[in-house]
Amino acid sequence: MKNENNNFSKLNKLDKPQGNNSLKIISLGGFASVTANMFVYETSRDILIVDCGVGFPEEEMMGVDLVIPDISYLNDKKEKIRAVILSHGHDDHIGGLPYILPQLPKNLPVYAPKWALALSQMKLEEFGIFANLNEIDQKTSLTLGDFRLEFVKVTHSIPDTYHILLKTPIGNFYHAPDFKLDLIPVLGQPADQVRIQELGRQGITCLLSDSLGAERPGFTPAEAKLIEMFESEIKTCSGNFFVTTISSNISRLKQAIDVSVRHGRKVVPVGRSIEKNLELADKLKYLALPKEVMLTKKQVKDIPQGKLTYLVAGSQGQIGSALDRIVAGEVDSVKIKKGDKVIFSTDYIPGNETAIRRLIDNIYRLGAEVVYSDIHDHIHVSGHGSQGDLGKLMELIKPKYFLPIGGNYRNLVNYKKLAISRGFKENQVILADGGMVVEFFSDGSVKTNKKIETRQVMVDALGVGDVGNVVLRDRKILSEEGIVVIVLPIDQSSHTLDGEPEIVTRGFIYIKENLEFLKQTKKFTSQVIEKTKGKRMDYRFVRNKVQEELEEFFFKSTGRRPMVLPVVVEV
């Protein structure tokens, strides 16, 4: 993609030797991904990392807890890394720190807004990791090697979300992860659009922008809009009022608390994540919890019907979450019953739809009312900008290039369409995918012909990266077909079976009802070994032969293909 737009000029470059310089942008979590955000900005001398998030395992990643970005690209460049910058406190932007920070240079500075910093600190402490954490705000200006940084506060579904301006020898880059342009935010101030426009006027080589909402027309509604919904729902609730939402959405929780106070209800947070987030938000003065109405779930005994609001974690139907356990009747002090109302003030995160709907069914079974997005249009607002918000940022910044991030590939494509509909040219938008290296040059050109390997590094309990495709493939077979282990006691000298084969099976068939079948299997195995006699005498041959023949035997008799594992024991 050669620069064809020669009247673009006056990039606000720093006074640095230029030579053959370039700036590379790489997404270690892979471009065209919503989560596992981790971006590398690299000049010949310096590297800056923006965000360090986790991803969530896909359906096929059985037993995997988390996915983290692959930092192997940085392995031979660690001395170039100047800092990690965090844009905001969502897990897909900070959750990778405990796994990745220990692999980066010791004492590497991490810069973060106050709220993200507090959450990161809590997270790192759980892992016993000390980090060099530094707070930034709107007034911060940093010089880190080739990079000079400024920060722009914007609005999102978590407090303290920032955009980052990176001035580099190659040009200025405006990094705009998750945001919306909420003009009347519940907490804090709206984004300063005048300042954004000023930064744009300094000349921006590339705008890296959130693209998740690029399919949605209009502007994303303001968070404050939801107060009307809360009002009308609480008014018609004779019993206890339950609100579930993403626990980090402090503004949403504040609105639920405010409306409860107005209606004379006490408020009870339930679930570790909500309790922790509210406590921290109060301590850091993001909100002032009305102490006189806040109760713990142990203190509700004498509160009359209809005078309680519960703020409950588990809006995604997660097994074992507070809401799941309450609905299952496992929480002694909190019951849902007729007259109560449960508000799902949340998006269905892709992949969770079935679990959420099942939870809703079960709440209805308890006789309560449920309000959720299938029956109510205005119960949740997204934290991500729609076409209006995204287009507005395009116009304020007027960059030379666009690099949509934070979306699936279809969102990037729709972001591109949006840019074109706003009068930008098709070749101004870079559609990056996977491990693509987006390289900007001082003559204004950009190349995308290099590619790095980015695997998904899987975290399974204490193991980071030790679960790979082989293990996952085995888990998949095990999960669908089960396993049959057949132990073959083989006489060392005669190489024949000394006794009966032993069979252990799990996940294949119900053993108690299939004793006869297992007997047949043993007999069949003995025959197979009998037949190999005098052929080749190494155990590998015996094992392979038994495995092969048993696989066929099982498929013919059951239609299934369990994993067959013969074990030879010399006796």
Residues acting as catalytic residues: 210, 384
Q: How far apart are CA 38 and CA 92, in angstroms?
A: 9
Q: CB burial class (10 A; 0-12, 13-18, 19+) of residue 559?
A: exposed
215 binds a second copy (CB under 8 A): yes
Terminal Cα distance for the chain, rounded: 70
User: How many residues in total does the chain contain?
Assistant: 571
483 binds a second copy (CB under 8 A): yes
Give the x/- contact pattern for a second copy in 370-389, rule: CB under 8 A: x---xx--------------
Per CB under 8 A, contacts with a second copy among 15-44 are: 32
For residues 218 and 351, which CB has a smaller minimum distance to a second copy in the complex?
351
Q: How far is the CB of 549 from a second copy (least distance, A)?
A: 19
Give the x/- contact pattern for a second copy in 54-83, rule: CB under 8 A: ----xx--xx--------------------
Q: Kindly give, in sequence order, each residue whose CB lies less than 8 Å from that of residue 79, ignoring residues fewer than 6 positions away.
A: 105
118 binds a second copy (CB under 8 A): no
- Residue from 508, 529, 542, 549 touching a second copy (CB under 8 A): that is 508
- How many amino acids of this chain bind a second copy (CB under 8 A)? 67
Q: How far is the CB of 353 from a second copy (least distance, A)?
A: 6
Give, for 404, the enclosing helix (H) or strand (E): strand 401-405
Q: What distances in angstroms separate CA 253 from CA 239, 258, 314, one per listed residue?
A: 19, 9, 14
470 binds a second copy (CB under 8 A): yes
Give the x/- contact pattern for a second copy in 522-561, rule: CB under 8 A: -----------------------------------xxxx-
Q: What distances in angstroms separate CA 165 from CA 171, 185, 188, 207, 492, one per listed residue?
A: 11, 23, 21, 9, 73
Q: How far apart are CA 162 and CA 176, in angstroms?
A: 8
CB atoms within 10 A of CB 36: 27
DSSP 51: -
413 binds a second copy (CB under 8 A): yes
CB atoms within 10 A of CB 529: 19
Per CB under 8 A, contacts with a second copy among 308-337 are: none
Q: Kindly give, in sequence order, each residue whose CB lies less than 8 Å from that of residue 203, ignoring residues fewer than 6 positions away.
A: 8, 9, 10, 11, 12, 171, 172, 400
480 binds a second copy (CB under 8 A): yes
519 binds a second copy (CB under 8 A): no
Per CB under 8 A, contacts with a second copy among 258-297 are: none
- Residue from 141, 445, 479, 544 touching a second copy (CB under 8 A): that is 479
567 binds a second copy (CB under 8 A): yes
Contacting range for a second copy; rule: CB under 8 A; set: 164-172, 232-240, 476-484, 526-534: 476-484
Q: What distances in angstroms separate CA 32 from CA 54, 90, 269, 356, one per listed residue?
A: 15, 18, 36, 26
195 binds a second copy (CB under 8 A): no
Q: How far is the CB of 516 from a second copy (least distance, A)?
A: 13
**Residue 48: which of 13, 96, 79, 82 has the closest Cα?**
82
Q: How far is the CB of 541 from a second copy (least distance, A)?
A: 18
Q: What distances in angstroms separate CA 462 from CA 105, 112, 127, 380, 432, one per listed residue?
A: 22, 27, 11, 36, 33
Q: What distances in angstroms separate CA 69 from CA 99, 540, 548, 550, one per listed residue?
A: 10, 39, 39, 41
364 binds a second copy (CB under 8 A): yes
Q: How far is the CB of 35 from a second copy (least distance, A)?
A: 13
Contacting range for a second copy; rule: CB under 8 A; set: 23-31, 134-142, 509-517, 533-541: 509-517
Q: What crossing angle do the helices spanning 272-283 and 114-126 adopt, rounded to 10°?
A: 130
Please report, as ranges, the residues that interact with a second copy according to CB under 8 A.
32, 58-59, 62-63, 215, 350-351, 353-354, 357, 360-362, 364-365, 370, 374-375, 408-410, 413-414, 433, 460-463, 466-468, 470-472, 474-476, 478-483, 485, 487, 489, 499, 502, 504, 506-510, 513-514, 557-560, 563, 565, 567, 569-571
